Structure 1
Amino acid sequence: MWKKIQQNWEEWRGVILIAPSMALAVIGLRMIGVFQLLEWAALDQFFRWRPIEPMDERIVIVGITESDIQQMQKWPLSDRVLTQLIEKIQSQNPRAIGLDLYRDLPVEPGYQQFVEVARNTPNLIGIAKIEGDRLGESVASSPVLEELNQVSAADLILDGDGKIRRMLLSVRDSGGKTFYGLGTRLALDYLQDEGVELEMLDAHRGKVGLGKAIFSPLQPNDGGYVNADTGGYQIMLNFRPRFCLLSQQPCQLFETVTLSDVLDDRLLPDLMRDRIVLIGGKAASLNDRFITPFGYSFQEGGIRSGVEIHADLASHIISAALDGRPQIQFWSELEEGLWIGFWSTWGAILGWIFLRIRWKMIGVFFCGFGLTLITYGAFLLGWWLPVFPPLVALFGAAISITAYIGLLERHNRQTIMHLFEGHVTPKIAQAVWRDRHQLLNEGKLTGRKLTATVLFTDLQGFTTISESIDPETLMVWLNQYMNAMVNIVLNYDGVVDKFIGDAVMAVFGVPIPSTTTEAIAQDAQLAVQCAVEMGKTLRSLNRAWKASGLPTVAMRVGIATGEVVAGSLGSDQRMNYTTIGDSVNVA
């Protein structure tokens, strides 16, 4: 079992090492915010790709346009005009009226009329900008609406790139008083008539139930955020699509009429009955416009007025509570880490199993495409999953494993060259390189039992000769002999195992084993032919030596075929490929 585990480790070592290492590196980069802007961009693209949804008919917007301002010849609207507007809207019996206009100061004429109509309109909700370092300077609410406790927060939260993705369900002022966001307050008033009330599910975590919906406050590292300021009770706003997917033209989000339409009685009699009505500015000159995920900048369809964003929040809450429309949810940090690790592992596996770069690229790009489809599908179901961290882990692991394989191949080539340099022919070296994955283990040629033929030669009377001539002449003479014998061994596909003084040991049938009877016999024949050739060459050498006044010599040859053990032998500092066994001793 241990041997099998060791074998699997050797086969998959690169994947086992690189996959978790890359995942941890990517998780570290995600924790310091490297991917935050990219994750926001991915979320925005998913919003733009999302199919169009039906218009929410429970909400009507009374938008104050440039034409309305020109017609009134005054901004802000006088209290008299505002009173007339509220009276006409209230006459249609809406469930709630949201006034997205700051009225902290009287705007004469008509202030007393406004006070009177406010006191007689219990479903009229005004706004204030709540004080706080995070939210900027405060703007007070209308005094009469504050007295009636008919005030909500109009504060909007901008992300670092200037876009709105989050909204406040509620926020506390510096005195500790809690205000619902405008959209929240209007939605709760609407749902109250449906018999739907807020229910605390988990006070410690801030989890509340509302009809079919469960709301949890946004945490600093949820989704693509890193250390976000999540003061107040924030949620991700699940915007209704502004673009029609096919036409890429702005779509109607809510029933929208103008100030002039209402004042001039150009509305259907029951247009606002039992609906939420929001009053707010839509004119560009009012500077109440914000970039949403549907736009890259202040482009058509990419921006919404503040009143539309408050309407979006009201629609988000009502649709979730009554219709079960998905909210944007997140995985825990542990689940995100496992998700990144999963794709890192896939990248490493693809890089490991595909040897050709082309197939690696195809495999990785298909996986990347699949990852994008999965995360987009999850988004449609209400989940914001990491996109770029797993993509980087996928590609990074594939690239790293490719580099690792390259280094491993280089190391193995150097190992083979070191072990066999000058000892084998290019033909055998090429065969060893071709089968390196079976032969090499941790930079060594593994020990293997195989059948080979061992050839052993030495010189008769070498000791006497070595004592009779000077050392320099001896080494020249001996090297001439060794060089000739080695060339013959290599010519017959043998491996020069070692030199022992004047002795030469050669092996036929290693390191690529001969597994058939015919191949083993062929090795033996090559060894015999090699020995015969050695004898002929030695006779030629003797004639040349005799003519030069050098000693002549006789050679003894031993050949044996049998089972041997071949592999790397030595220390970490010095390693040689050698053959041992009875057949070596017999030869």
Structure 2
Amino acid sequence: MSSKKKKRKPVGVYLLIAGLAFLVSSFLSNIPTFRSVELDFRDLLFEIRGPLSVEDSPIVLIPISDEADSEIPQKYPWPTNVYAKLIENLNKAGIDVIVFDVIFDQPDQYDLKNDTLFANALKKYGNVVLAGDFREEDYEDGKSQTTLFPQQILQANNPNPVGLVDVNPNTDGAIRTYSFGTTFNNKDYYKLGIEALIIYDGISRDSVSNVDDNTSHSFLLGKHRIQKDAINSFIINYYGEEGHFPVYDFAEVIDDADYTTTMERDAGFDINAFDDPDFEEGWLYEGVFENKIAIIGATMPALKDFYKTPLMKTEINSLGEKEELLRPGYEIHAHAIQTILDGNYISRQSATTVLLLMALFSLLLVFINRFFGPVWGGISMFSFMGGYTFIVIQTFLNANLFLNLTAILLTLFAAQVGTIAYQYFVEQKEKRRIQGMFSSYVSPKLVEQMVESGTDPELGGDQVYMTAFFSDIESFSTFSEQMSPTQLVTLINEYLTSMTNILTDKGGTLDKYIGDAIVAFFGAPLPFEDHALRACIASQLMQKELNVLREKWQKDGWPDIVANMKNRIGMNTGEMITGNMGSANRFNYTMMGDNVNLAARCESGAKAFGVYNMITESTKIEAEKFGNDCVFRYLDKIVVKGRTQPVKMFEVADLRSEASQELFDCIGLYEQGMEKYLSQNWDEAINLFGKSLELEIHENNPSLILLDRAKELKKNPPGNAWDGVFVMKSK
């Protein structure tokens, strides 16, 4: 019998697949393409979360904009006295800190006195942070880092150190982190936002961590413990898109009674948007700058101070397409400062945790595939992907923690693909093995079913409940006497091909050819319940196919013996042994057992009843469990040679769908005669067998056999102890 158990799948191979999936996904997740995918997803998390409130934020923005440029009489770069005016007015309005995201490294191009005015304002108010940067320059002997700081007069008069404005973009060019500063010539230079908070909170520089301090996971900035993402940076928690913080026009802030804008000049009267002394109106009186941090930076497109960040503003372009707008650089400082003020830090999952999760998911998925198959593996993969993505989103929304998504998804995908690839390889290998083992005696369709079902014969012998099938050409020795060897081979090959095609089409397994004889069975190596019915149907299809062959051979001019060829078929259903049997080096998938011998006796014994298909009662009963396709006729209760127990025998007379009324009438009369025969009513039996004989289609037939036997028993009655059993004297 074919084993119902799946073949044991080696654990080691699946561990190897999990390991390879882990390694492949580890590699892929670190290449730029997938790093960008991960970063883009993190940006999407900001979109999902939406903007955060800055209602209580101390930050205000003052852009160096095209609008301001149109109101200031001198075109940009403006004379530096306007910055002095800006510092003066903001301090009048109660500003705490003024931050310039502009590097004043060149002297004023209008009048050097303007630089002096700017420097005096810096010195007077002492709450201004100027921007600086470090640049790498190429020299013959290599690269060297140089400073790009404000001109000396400004540095000398400003009590506060320069704040750095360099950016550290990710691989996709986006700004997501904010560094603490840079060490240059053994001196720490802090970032613009850090310097702004030192002034705003009155932080002693002794309570500020060194830039490259790697002894702690936090960067100390007075009362603020900034959660590091790397040794020298933290993740910026962007609160919204461009313009999320309050924005005030540069020209309006400097527009007091002492300054005339282009609009005022053209109109011929003062507006004084900052301070109108006559009406006590303007920004000064509204208190919008009181205790604030004012950040001044460029928004002019020509100055190209724009960057890709999360939560960028979108607009519809002239083509009707949605387009993201790069964020002005000075806003990056604003969001970094707000992140520190709120302590609203974002952390990342540690690399160790990511690797552990990758290993766990990889192992889990490949073993789901191992135990439950690729369908459940695929369902599990998508479930894990969806579930983990949900967890990643919720973790960010509720805990400000970035979980690595791409690496996990890659791991799940690689594990599933690797497992399917391995299972496909094994399946194809198994298919080739089974095809090599069984293709010569079972149909390709059956081989496919064996592979798909996962059943595998337990080679060496297994007990199976199935149907044995024997077929033999009547008087074949006469053929060999009247035909040349070449003709005989041609004939027998055509005959066996046609018969075998029917056999395999109905799911039968060819055991062997013995000359003209066909030995086969139904129900192994792949089990199916209706094996007896299939065998009976196959026997009738073979008889009909032989009729077609006889007509063909007659037209082709073969001898009469060929045109009149007949074959006999015997079948029996029961427990038998199947398996690969033979020597260690040469064997055959075959069957053996007493029930096999009985099937063979059915084939040879059919001649005694003048029929061409004889089966045992067990085959008839088993076939009728699964269909009413065949017409059966009870023949006799006999003891075949070599056995002691009697067996009821039946003829498979025809397929019910093609049987004639004459056949049904013949069988009806015959079976009535059989009842009289068994009750020893010999006259009635002889009468009924005589009537059925008139309807028989073959010269030698069951009606004739039983008619002669009834006449003989009438002459020599068997007595009251007779059980109706007929003992066969020959095979």
Give a deviation string over 1:120-157, Cα, whole Å, max 9, x none. 43432222112346998641234356454522211123
2:228 aligns with: 216
1:102: Cα distance to partner? 1.9
Q: Which moved more, 1:563-572 or 1:53-62?
A: 563-572
CA 1:456–1:308 in structure 2 vs 1: closer, same or farther (change >3 Å)?
closer
CA 1:431–1:99 in structure 2 vs 1: closer, same or farther (change >3 Å)?
same
CA 1:253–1:199 in structure 2 vs 1: closer, same or farther (change >3 Å)?
same
1:199: Cα distance to partner? 6.4
CA 1:490–1:236 in structure 2 vs 1: closer, same or farther (change >3 Å)?
closer
- Which among 440, 450, 457 is matched to residue 455 of structure 2? 440
1:308 aligns with: 331
Q: Secondary structure at the match of 2:349?
A: coil
Whether 2:232 is the aligned partner of 1:261: answer: no
Higher relative contact order (CA 8 A, sep 6+): 1
Whether 2:524 is the aligned partner of 1:510: answer: yes
Contact 1:375–1:387 under 8 Å retained in 2? yes
- Which among 268, 281, 304 is matched to residue 287 of structure 1? 304
1:152 aligns with: 163
1:167 aligns with: 178
Give a deviation string over 1:441-465, Cα, whole Å, max 9, x none. 5x998964323455678999999x9
Whether 2:66 is the aligned partner of 1:66: answer: yes
- For residues 89 and 449 of structure 1, the distance between their equivalents in structure 2, rounded to whole angstroms, comes to 99
- For residues 466 and 255 of structure 1, the distance between their equivalents in structure 2, rounded to whole angstroms, comes to 110
CA 1:126–1:484 in structure 2 vs 1: closer, same or farther (change >3 Å)?
closer
Report the aligned-residue RMSD: 5.7
Give a deviation string over 1:68-100, Cα, whole Å, max 9, x none. 334241543434332232233234444432222
Contact 1:119–1:144 under 8 Å retained in 2? no
- For residues 302 and 332 of structure 2, the distance between their equivalents in structure 1, rounded to whole angstroms, comes to 18
2:81 aligns with: 80
Give a deviation string over 1:338-375, Cα, whole Å, max 9, x none. 3487279659968975769xx96x98767655554443
Contact 2:469–2:535 under 8 Å retained in 1? no
CA 1:458–1:277 in structure 2 vs 1: closer, same or farther (change >3 Å)?
same
1:227 aligns with: none
Q: Map of 1:421-440 to 2, 5 A cutoff? A: 421=439, 423-424=441-442, 433-434=448-449, 436-440=451-455
2:289 aligns with: 272
1:496 aligns with: 510
Q: Map of 1:92-491 to 2, 5 A cutoff? A: 92-107=93-108, 108-132=112-136, 138-143=147-152, 146=155, 148-173=159-184, 175-192=185-202, 198=208, 203-204=213-214, 206-210=216-220, 213-218=225-230, 233-242=232-241, 251-254=243-246, 256-264=248-256, 265=275, 266-269=282-285, 270-295=287-312, 302-320=325-343, 325-332=344-351, 335-336=354-355, 338-339=357-358, 342=361, 370-380=387-397, 381-394=399-412, 417-421=435-439, 423-424=441-442, 433-434=448-449, 436-441=451-456, 448-452=462-466, 454=468
CA 1:489–1:38 in structure 2 vs 1: closer, same or farther (change >3 Å)?
closer
Contact 2:115–2:154 under 8 Å retained in 1? no
Q: Secondary structure at the match of 1:57?
A: coil
CA 1:495–1:301 in structure 2 vs 1: closer, same or farther (change >3 Å)?
closer
- For residues 170 and 433 of structure 1, the distance between their equivalents in structure 2, rounded to whole angstroms, comes to 68
Give a deviation string over 1:168-208, Cα, whole Å, max 9, x none. 211122x2321110012212443456999556999545522
1:547: Cα distance to partner? 7.4
Contact 2:60–2:247 under 8 Å retained in 1? yes
- For residues 302 and 461 of structure 1, the distance between their equivalents in structure 2, rounded to whole angstroms, comes to 95
CA 1:304–1:203 in structure 2 vs 1: closer, same or farther (change >3 Å)?
closer
Q: Which moved more, 1:397-406 or 1:368-377?
A: 397-406
CA 1:272–1:437 in structure 2 vs 1: closer, same or farther (change >3 Å)?
same
CA 1:572–1:405 in structure 2 vs 1: closer, same or farther (change >3 Å)?
farther
- For residues 99 and 585 of structure 1, the distance between their equivalents in structure 2, rounded to whole angstroms, comes to 105
Q: Which amino acid aligns with 1:261?
A: V
User: What's the TM-score, normalizing by structure 1?
Assistant: 0.70
Contact 1:509–1:523 under 8 Å retained in 2? no
Contact 2:435–2:447 under 8 Å retained in 1? no
CA 1:287–1:496 in structure 2 vs 1: closer, same or farther (change >3 Å)?
closer
Q: Secondary structure at the match of 2:332?
A: helix
Contact 1:419–1:576 under 8 Å retained in 2? no
- For residues 324 and 360 of structure 2, the distance between their equivalents in structure 1, rounded to whole angstroms, comes to 38
2:672 aligns with: none
Q: Which amino acid aligns with 1:307?
A: Y
1:261: Cα distance to partner? 2.1
Give a deviation string over 1:224-283, Cα, whole Å, max 9, x none. xxxxxxxxx2333222211xxxxxxx6532454534324423324443333322233333
1:54: Cα distance to partner? 0.9
- For residues 283 and 312 of structure 2, the distance between their equivalents in structure 1, rounded to whole angstroms, comes to 32
- For residues 572 and 423 of structure 1, the distance between their equivalents in structure 2, rounded to whole angstroms, comes to 20
- For residues 63 and 501 of structure 2, the distance between their equivalents in structure 1, rounded to whole angstroms, comes to 97
Q: Which amino acid aligns with 2:196?
A: L
1:60: Cα distance to partner? 1.9
Q: Which amino acid aligns with 1:440?
A: T
CA 1:562–1:192 in structure 2 vs 1: closer, same or farther (change >3 Å)?
farther
User: What's the TM-score, normalizing by structure 2?
Assistant: 0.58
Q: Secondary structure at the match of 1:34?
A: helix
2:26 aligns with: 27
Give a deviation string over 1:502-556, Cα, whole Å, max 9, x none. 87543344234477xxx79x589969x89x99xx99xx9xxx9x97899xxxx99
Q: Which amino acid aligns with 1:218?
A: A
Q: Secondary structure at the match of 2:61?
A: strand
- For residues 96 and 144 of structure 2, the distance between their equivalents in structure 1, rounded to whole angstroms, comes to 30
Give a deviation string over 1:313-362, Cα, whole Å, max 9, x none. 21122222xxxx23142331561573487279659968975769xx96x9
Q: Secondary structure at the match of 1:31?
A: coil
Q: Secondary structure at the match of 2:401?
A: coil
- For residues 122 and 5 of structure 1, the distance between their equivalents in structure 2, rounded to whole angstroms, comes to 85
Q: Which amino acid aligns with 1:41?
A: D
CA 1:440–1:143 in structure 2 vs 1: closer, same or farther (change >3 Å)?
same
Unaligned stretches of 5+ residues in structure 2: 138-142, 257-274, 276-281, 318-322, 601-731
- For residues 490 and 68 of structure 1, the distance between their equivalents in structure 2, rounded to whole angstroms, comes to 91
